[in-house]
Amino acid sequence: MVSQAKLAVKVSVITVVYNAVHTIEETIRSVINQTYQNIEYIVIDGGSTDGTLDVIKKYLPANSYFKSEPDTGIADAFNKGVAVATGDWVAIINADDWYVSNAVESMMKAVNDTTDVCCGNIMLVGENDYRRVKPSKVNWLNYGMYIMHPTCFIRREVYASVGDYDTSLSIAMDYDMLMRIRNSGFKIQYIDELVTYMRTGGASSDITRMHQEEIKVIKNHLNGYSYWLSRAVKYADIIRWRFFYKSPFKVVA
């Protein structure tokens, strides 16, 4: 039985957005309509000019934190959100993604008391609403971004220990963060729950640049045999991803 104290912990949810007028409403609604009650919502906008701000002002609750100003990229926006978060746990969901209605509750119910990061499953949503589920694979972290960052919940004190997202990375800053967390000895727990829907076509759809940055992260965190093995697996993964993005998604009922 899950204790009431466990379900009373505060969760800070951060949305970073820039010119996402067509998708930000669904993201906001998915957060404010969560079945979990104790959520602090933080929206960091990079200075949108396409009407995004009007949508945010229309749907964002008055007790949320909102900041709109230019930033240097996604990592900078992540860092701004984490810096103002006051929750026990921190989750980040971008403006192209949205949560399952009970995402926060299901993760908080299932997470172990000794866990520092928990992650779950993501559903990729392509054209014509084709969908494919991708589970997080904690044991594959050496080989690439196999932990789905939009499904992650990270204890706030972990960020205080490992530092900010790397602003020199334009895509793989989340992979670098998770590698630093894992290498610092923090415990990552996989929970077999669907957490997030993610539209394909965002920054991570630049497959070549994404994998180049992932290889850079691998090189920074591994050495010797482990690095070369990881790099070989990563190149095989590049081929798989190129095929995946050229092929129709499998429809999931």
Q: Given the structure tokens 């594959």, which residue do they identify?
A: 140
For 154-168, letters b (16+ CB in 10 Å) and e give: bbbebbeebeebbbe
Q: Which residues contact residue 109 at a Cβ distance below 8 angstroms, ignoring those fewer than 6 apart?
A: 2, 6, 7
pLDDT recorded at residue 137: 87
Q: Where are the domains of the chain?
A: 4-246
pLDDT higher than threshold 50 for residue 245: no
User: If you average pLDDT over every residue of the chain, what do you get?
Assistant: 87
pLDDT for the residue 74: 97
Place of tokens 């979990």: 36
**Residues in contact with 75: Cβ distance below 8 Å, sequence separation at least 6, in sequence order:** 164, 165, 166, 167, 169, 170, 173
- Percent of the chain with pLDDT strictly greater than 70: 82
The CA-CA-CA angle for residues 26, 27, 33, to 5°, reads 85
> Does domain 4-246 correspond to CATH entry 3.60.70.12?
no
Residues 154-204 have pLDDT tens digits of 999 999 999 999 999 999 999 999 999 999 999 999 999 999 999 886 554
Position 126 scores a pLDDT of 82
Per-residue pLDDT reduced to its tens digit, 30-89: 999 999 999 999 999 999 999 999 999 999 999 999 999 999 999 999 999 999 999 999
Q: What tokens were used for 181?
A: 């967390």
